[in-house]
Amino acid sequence: MKKVITYGTYDLLHVGHINLLRRAKELGDYLIVGLSTDEFNAGKHKEAYHCYEDRKMILEAVKYVDEVIPEETWEQKIKDVVDNKVDVFVMGDDWKGKFDFLKEYCEVVYLPRTAGISTTKIKSDLHG
């Protein structure tokens, strides 16, 4: 079984998120999503509308997602990859190069973002 992992906050789920999850799942058989906890987001000065438990429930309902694990620190990625026997690490290409250190443990793939959509844009449009 080929395992894939990706990470994110996944707040205000939108078509860009679904596209990333679909394309990530296409790279293997089993998709794990490391979901940023509320505490981790606070440390990044990032505020989510939905709490961790609600975001987790929403992600678990997406047919491409097989498992959701908490992302509590930046440093946990190597441990997650090793402990879960991950074959492919996936992130959006806005992170290109930032996770190349994982190439020692698994394949690293940066997928293009869906043009014209982001959580930041949605929040801006709603307040604009």
| C-alpha distance from residue 31 to each of 21, 49, 73, 77, 87 (Å) | 8, 24, 20, 15, 10
Catalytic, 44? Answer: yes
| Centroid of chain to Cα 117 | 16
Within the chain, what is the greatest distance between any pair of CA atoms? 46
CB 38 within 8 A of CB 52: yes
User: Of these residues, 3, 25, 46, 103, which one is catalytic?
Assistant: 46
- Contacts of residue 93, defined as CB under 8 A and 6 or more positions apart, other chains included, come to 110, 111, 112, 113
Catalytic, 123? Answer: no
User: Of these residues, 2, 3, 25, 44, which one is catalytic?
Assistant: 44
Active-site residues, by number, are: 44, 46
